[in-house]
Amino acid sequence: SFARIAASALAVRVSSSATASARHPSLRAVAPASRFTKPTQTLARSVTTMAAAGDEKTAAIEAHLKGMANSGEATIFDKIIAKEIPSDIIYEDNLCLAFRDIAPQAKTHFLVIPKIRSGLTQLSKAEEGHKELLGHLLYTAQKVAKQEKLDQGFRVVINDGVEGCQSVYHLHIHVVGGQQLSWPPGC
């Protein structure tokens, strides 16, 4: 539940850096979960980035506690689209952009993102008017997968919300492949 996750993240935040590294992998709750039913502005401001590179679970918790899902602020993906942050772009059209993930989880790992969010911060917020864009993103994912020579198969992943390990609130599709993948993923 969110209360358990929030208490765990806060426990990591307030502990010393030596203790944090010991608690971080399991994110054990050390504070009463009932005190944390939703992120508050005070709690969100007090959370600093503690996630190590590639630690999507902690990054997702931090993004949620900071209120990033509803902030409306520019995301790292907005900055990549604006070419303010360099990335290895492998495809671009008028609606979307595909680029290599900076922390690949397979031999080939790229993201497909819409250039304009239009309120589509996560899949669960999709509305009727997003259907065409969502179809275009999936079509582009397979098109780029072919370009990347993922002829033997690939996986498409969309993380949604804190329990889905979403750390950037700008809808994005992960495409992973280039090797034999296992099942079930992320359980």
Residue 130 annotated among the catalytic residues of the structure: no
Cα-based distances in Å from 65 to 29, 47, 61, 68, 175 = 15, 7, 6, 8, 27
**Catalytic entry in 24, 64, 170, 172:** 172
Q: How far is CA 83 from the centre of its chain?
A: 20
Please say whether the beta carbons of 12 and 58 come within 8 A: yes
Please say whether the beta carbons of 28 and 12 come within 8 A: no
Please list the residues that pair with 92 across neighbouring strands.
97
User: Would you name the residues annotated as active-site residues?
Assistant: 172
